[in-house]
A and B are shown apart, each in its own frame.
Chain A
Amino acid sequence: MSISMRLVPRHQTSTGRQLAVLLFSLLAGFVAVGVVFAVKGVNPLFALWKILAGSFGSFYGISETITKAIPLILIGSGLTLAFRAKFWNIGAESQLLMGAICATWIGLNLGTRLPGWMVIPLMFLVGFLGGAVWGALPALFKVRFGVNEVISTLMLNYVAAEFLNLLIVGPWKGATQQGFPYTDDLPAAATLAVIPGTRIHYLTLLIALACAVILFVLVHSTTFGYELRVVGENPEAARYAGIDFFRTTVILMVISGGVAGLAGVGETAGIHHHLTYPGVISAGYGFTGIIVAWLAKLNPLASIVSALFFAGILVGGDAIQISLGLPAATVHVFNGVLLFFLIMGDTFVNKRLVVIRGRRS
């Protein structure tokens, strides 16, 4: 007698089952993170409670969670597009930075010269273009030169980060910043208003929500959305169906990179009001956005919810860093473990585990 296990495909799967698997994956993920905490000598329940209290347990916590959800909604919903076409854009981090850089240039150089009402819209437009160009490059590299997009988007992350470093210690270093590696502060016309008592720059929040809705419609009700899916699932069939691989890939990356650029505009014009180190402008939003998209099951609308969830983890992560003395890398542990459990869960959505008893033939 022997006992073996095997994964057997299911022929049907229901929405209820998908949701159950999702919730169970998250639960199992939290248990696994708890184990890591326990090994580190931190009471996992205490840490979890601190995270929850820090992110959703107070007005300040909730407002910070919403603030951090803004870039995550933009990036997450943009990435759903790319991942649907199986274009693995790992470069949202630098597409955000390029948006921030381009918008800052407008703010610093034209912010006091143009009529006040024009500055912010122009910053968002140019920020979108900055992210879009930075995103379209790897699309071009892939379609024309066969360069793997995972590597090219990642390499461009490092290049953009060093480029930003170069700007803030070199030509763009602010004369008014007492030697700190910052650009000068943006003029008033180039900064975004916030909800009083919070850091929520509501204009970017509205743009983010609108983006999620527009991308949802784009994905579900247009030919382009259909083309994305075909390109991702069956490139061979896409060719027969007359889908222009080049056009589809470049457009999807213009959008995906562009919305990440919008997030960069929000972070600089809404939060920092100047450019500084890349790690300050973006707290890893480009990478967290990957998990936001995955948790949302590549649905742009659902990425609003999953962005709030992961924004909560970022804010709660900051809280336990302070109260438990844990390093910033703790959030990476969360991200990595949860992403693992989410993709493991995907396996059980359309397969089931059966135990086979009996003699091996």
Chain B
Amino acid sequence: MAEPAERLTQSTVATSSSILQIHGLTRRFGGLRALDAVDLAVGRDELLAIIGPNGAGKSTLFNVVTGYLPPDSGRVILDGDDITALSPDRISRLGVGRKFQVPSVFDGLTIRQNLEVSARGHSPLRSLFRSHDGFDQLDAILSRLRLSEKANLPAGLLSHGEKQWLEIAMVLANRPRLLLLDEPTAGMTLGETKRTEELLRDIGQEHTIVLIEHDVRFVREVAQRVVVLHRGRVLASGPIDEVERDERVRDVYLGREE
């Protein structure tokens, strides 16, 4: 890596343990800088939440990291490998799993089949025609997400909250090194949100998770560290208590949100 560690701002954790490093990431839409020289590092096994008002650049960040949008400048490093502007399928095969804000599940397949498709996502084309043997863990994932009883129902019949869980289950079945979850509690009831909290804490035991979230209470429950994005820039970073006390953060975000 040519980029010296000193370039990283205080918003980063120690580089040696980082699974994801983002250097100077910039993405413009016309005159708007959706991402403006964002530096960020995600430590191994960390559960990091990215918060910020609408239009802060949170989803754009995920879109650039997962290869859906190319950046105008900057680099994305996954475990030491430069993955900047690779295609979404390659980045997925390299181990970045993504859950979308609007739950994207395959309505025409059963819940189990949704997981099977996800489990095979990294397989070479040829092996798709053979029977697959990596399915042992699917039952465990199903019961973890409380979807076991509905395993053979079409995914289209699930409620909104259950679809959110199914998509998390799909990302887990895909066996990523890093999970990017875009508002996993969007549209959920209070009870479902509570359940998702437990779930994320549980999954966070063995996975590195980056979470985009609007719900600050939820973030307080699950995240070890919070990064605040504002107008495409990293405004603050640290434990939620510190960040909440930050005057600038209060001004742009927390005060207005609640």
A binds B: no
Give B contacts to A, CB under 8 Å: none
Give A contacts to B, CB under 8 Å: none
